[in-house]
Chains A and B, each alone.
Chain A
Amino acid sequence: GQSLEQPSEVTAVEGAIVQINCTYQTSGFYGLSWYQQHDGGAPTFLSYNALDGLEETGRFSSFLSRSDSYGYLLLQELQMKDSASYFCAVRGNSGNTPLVFGKGTRLSVIA
């Protein structure tokens, strides 16, 4: 099966940089995904890493180290609207395995 660990809460200041870590255990591995969910809203896909290294999309970057079973989401130039929950997710690579989500990290951006 798959399991993921991520911090439950993170607080950061507007304009700063914050990193949300995710470690995973999985039998087989395709890649690591990140989703954002605002309160009362739906999860929204942010990024996906299949290979080691950093993927950048605007203010958001995601990193993966397959050998360490570890990844992180980096948010730069934080804005108040970035306050949300962030979920990492993995899929095994045997057959049609579903996406398994971590329990989420609640990010609070303060002035």
Chain B
Amino acid sequence: DSGVTQTPKHLITATGQRVTLRCSPRSGDLSVYWYQQSLDQGLQFLIQYYNGEERAKGNILERFSAQQFPDLHSELNLSSLELGDSALYFCASSEQGVSTDTQYFGPGTRLTVL
């Protein structure tokens, strides 16, 4: 158990819908990272937040957005969902504000878009 929690574990929805994925980092960690993992693309970095502020952005679609709240939990919002958005979404956390090589991953949310 990494200490990072994610909810929900599974999510099934329809195309065009909007969903919110939630992540709570390890106690004491200020950075949260979001990743998308699909069979053909591997583990892709989406976005990083540090202490409430966006710090780095990867291949995140404009339909996706995220935020980190004062209690340090983070939410990833996915809207106008398409079939291709079906994937595993992981969040990870670390202490530092600068992206680190040692990140602690949550159990993931499996999103299925029908």
Q: How large is the interface on B (under 10, 10 to 19, 20 to 34, 35 or more residues)?
A: 20 to 34
In whole Å, how far is B55's beta carbon from the nearest beta carbon of chain A?
6
* Cβ-defined contact, A101 with B98, below 8 A: no
A70 located at the interface, meaning its Cβ lies under 8 Å from any Cβ of chain B in the complex: no
* Cβ-defined contact, B2 with A44, below 8 A: yes
Residues of B close to A111: CB separation below 8 A: none
A97 located at the interface, meaning its Cβ lies under 8 Å from any Cβ of chain B in the complex: yes
Chain A, residues 33-54, CB within 8 Å of chain B (1/0): the string is 1000000011111001000000
* Cβ-defined contact, B99 with A48, below 8 A: no
User: Assuming the A-B contacts A43-B90, A103-B42, are A98 and B48 also in contact, with contact meaning beta carbons closer than 8 angstroms in the complex?
Assistant: yes
Nearest 10 A/B pairs, CB to CB:
A42-B105, A103-B42, A101-B43, A98-B45, A33-B101, A43-B105, A48-B101, A96-B56, A98-B99, A45-B102
